[in-house]
Structure 1
Amino acid sequence: MATGDIAQLTEALSKTHVGDVELSYKGRGLKLDNADSVKQMVQEIEQFQGLQSLRLEGNTLGVEAAQVIAKALEAKSELQQCHWSDMFTGRLRTEIPPALKSLGNALMMSGARLTQLDLSDNAFGPDGVKGIETLLKSSACYTLLELRLNNCGMGIGGGTVLASALTECHKQSSASGSPLRLKVFIAGRNRLENDGATALAQAFKLLGSLEEVHMPQNGINHPGITALASAMQHNPNLHILNLNDNTFTKRGSIAMAEAIKHLQYLKVINFGDCLVRSEGAIAIAGALKEGLPLLRELNLSFGEICEVAALVVAKAVQGKAGLEKLDLNGNCLGEEGCETLREAMESMNIGDMLCSLSDDEGEPDDDEDSDDDDDEEEKNEDGVEKENGVNGTQDVIEGKEELQCSSELMSFLSSPSAENLLSLGAKRIQLIEQQVDVSDVNKVSEVFLKISSVYEDEPEVKQAVFESTDALMKKAFSKSHSQSYSFICSLMVNLGLLKSEDKKIKKVSVLPGHLLALEHAAAQEFFPVDQACVLEEFVSRNGKILESCSTARDALKSTLAKRTTA
Structure 2
Amino acid sequence: MTNFNFGTIAQELNDVQEEGLSFEDKQLTWDNAGDVADIVKALETTKVVHYLKLGGNTLGIDAAAAIAKGLEKHPEFRKALWYNMFSRRLKTETPLSLKHLGKGLMIAGAKLTVLDLSDNALGPNGMVGLEELLRSPVVYSLQELRLNNCGLGIGGGQMLSKAILDCHKSSVADGTPLQLKVFIAGRNRLENDGAKAIAKIFSTLKTLEEIAMPQNSIYHAGIAALAAGFKENPNLRVLNLNDNTVTEKGAASLAEAFAYTPSLQDINFGDCLLKTHGAYHFAEALSENHLQLEVVDLGFNEISADGGVVLAEALQNKPNLKSLNLDGNQFGYEGRERIKETIDASANPNALESLEEDQSECEDGDEDVGDDDDDDEDDEDDDDETTEDVDEDDDYQDEDADEDADEAYVTSQAFTTNLFNANESFNADKNLLFGKTTSTEKPITTNTTIETFCLSQKPCTIEAFESLQEEDKLAAFKSIFEQFTDDNRLLLLIFTTLKCAHLSESSPAALELAKALYKETVDYAVQTKQERRVLNYILMQLGLLRSEEKFTSPYDLKSCRYALRETLKTNPQLSSEHMRNAFNVFLQQFDG
Counterpart AA for 2:354:
S
| Residue 90 of structure 1: how far off its partner (Å) | 1.4
**Is residue 51 from structure 1 mapped to residue 49 from structure 2 by the alignment?**
yes
CA contact (8 A) 2:309 2:335 kept: no
Counterpart AA for 2:28:
L
* d(CA) in 1 for partners of 2:331, 2:305: 4
1:176-325 to 2 correspondence within 5 Å? Answer: 176-325=174-323
1:71 to 69, 84, 92: 69
Counterpart AA for 1:177:
G
1:370-385 to 2 correspondence within 5 Å? Answer: 372-374=372-374
Q: Aligned residue for 1:141? A: 139
Counterpart AA for 1:319:
N
1:156 to 154, 157, 162: 154
* d(CA) in 2 for partners of 1:180, 1:122: 24
Counterpart AA for 1:135:
L
| Residue 58 of structure 1: how far off its partner (Å) | 0.9
1:306-385 to 2 correspondence within 5 Å? Answer: 306-348=304-346, 350-362=348-360, 365-366=365-366, 372-374=372-374
* d(CA) in 1 for partners of 2:233, 2:370: 34
Of 66-75 and 335-344, the range deviating more from structure 2: 335-344
| Residue 260 of structure 1: how far off its partner (Å) | 1.1
**Structure 2-normalised TM-score?**
0.59
Q: Aligned residue for 2:35? A: 37
* d(CA) in 2 for partners of 1:194, 1:292: 28
Post-superposition Cα deviations, 1:265-312, rounded to whole Å, max 9, x if no partner, equal 110010111111111111111111232121111111111100011100
Change (3 A) 1:376 1:100: closer
Of 348-357 and 213-222, the range deviating more from structure 2: 348-357
SS at 2:306 equivalent:
helix
Change (3 A) 1:371 1:236: closer
* d(CA) in 1 for partners of 2:375, 2:96: 46
- What CA RMSD, in Å, does the superposition of the two structures yield over aligned residues? 1.9
| Residue 122 of structure 1: how far off its partner (Å) | 0.6
* d(CA) in 2 for partners of 1:281, 1:248: 11
SS at 1:96 equivalent:
helix
| Residue 353 of structure 1: how far off its partner (Å) | 0.9
2:127 to 126, 129, 132: 129
Change (3 A) 1:376 1:52: closer
* d(CA) in 2 for partners of 1:51, 1:259: 41
Aligned residues: percent identity?
Answer: 50
Change (3 A) 1:50 1:375: closer
1:382-461 to 2 correspondence within 5 Å? Answer: none
| Residue 371 of structure 1: how far off its partner (Å) | 7.8
| Residue 133 of structure 1: how far off its partner (Å) | 0.9
CA contact (8 A) 1:262 1:291 kept: no
Post-superposition Cα deviations, 1:34-80, rounded to whole Å, max 9, x if no partner, equal 11111222111111112111111111101111111111111211110
* d(CA) in 1 for partners of 2:367, 2:297: 28
Post-superposition Cα deviations, 1:100-144, rounded to whole Å, max 9, x if no partner, equal 011011111111110000000011211111210110010000000
Post-superposition Cα deviations, 1:485-535, rounded to whole Å, max 9, x if no partner, equal xxxxxxxxxxxxxxxxxxxxxxxxxxxxxxxxxxxxxxxxxxxxxxxxxxx
Change (3 A) 1:349 1:213: closer
Counterpart AA for 1:60:
T
**Structure 1-normalised TM-score?**
0.62
SS at 1:362 equivalent:
helix
* d(CA) in 2 for partners of 1:142, 1:367: 49
| Residue 350 of structure 1: how far off its partner (Å) | 3.6
| Residue 157 of structure 1: how far off its partner (Å) | 0.3
1:395-544 to 2 correspondence within 5 Å? Answer: none
| Residue 195 of structure 1: how far off its partner (Å) | 0.4
CA contact (8 A) 1:186 1:215 kept: yes
Q: Aligned residue for 2:427? A: none
Counterpart AA for 2:81:
H
Post-superposition Cα deviations, 1:158-208, rounded to whole Å, max 9, x if no partner, equal 000000011011000000001000000000000000000100101110000
CA contact (8 A) 2:316 2:342 kept: no
SS at 1:150 equivalent:
coil
Counterpart AA for 1:133:
E
* d(CA) in 1 for partners of 2:334, 2:373: 31
1:96-115 to 2 correspondence within 5 Å? Answer: 96-115=94-113
Aligned length: 360
Change (3 A) 1:30 1:187: same
Counterpart AA for 1:136:
L
| Residue 349 of structure 1: how far off its partner (Å) | 5.5
| Residue 261 of structure 1: how far off its partner (Å) | 2.2
SS at 1:202 equivalent:
helix
| Residue 362 of structure 1: how far off its partner (Å) | 1.1
1:76-87 to 2 correspondence within 5 Å? Answer: 76-87=74-85
* d(CA) in 1 for partners of 2:175, 2:365: 59
Rg comparison, structure with higher value: 1
* d(CA) in 1 for partners of 2:188, 2:375: 27
* d(CA) in 2 for partners of 1:200, 1:250: 22
Unaligned runs of 5+ in 2: 1-16, 378-592
SS at 1:147 equivalent:
strand
| Residue 147 of structure 1: how far off its partner (Å) | 0.4
In the TM superposition, structure 1's runs of 4+ consecutive aligned residues that sit over 6 Å from their partners are none
SS at 2:293 equivalent:
coil
* d(CA) in 1 for partners of 2:279, 2:134: 38
* d(CA) in 1 for partners of 2:375, 2:90: 43
SS at 2:203 equivalent:
helix
* d(CA) in 2 for partners of 1:85, 1:307: 42
* d(CA) in 2 for partners of 1:356, 1:40: 50
Change (3 A) 1:370 1:92: farther
CA contact (8 A) 1:263 1:291 kept: no
* d(CA) in 2 for partners of 1:167, 1:20: 29
CA contact (8 A) 1:251 1:374 kept: no
Q: Aligned residue for 1:116? A: 114
Counterpart AA for 1:245:
D
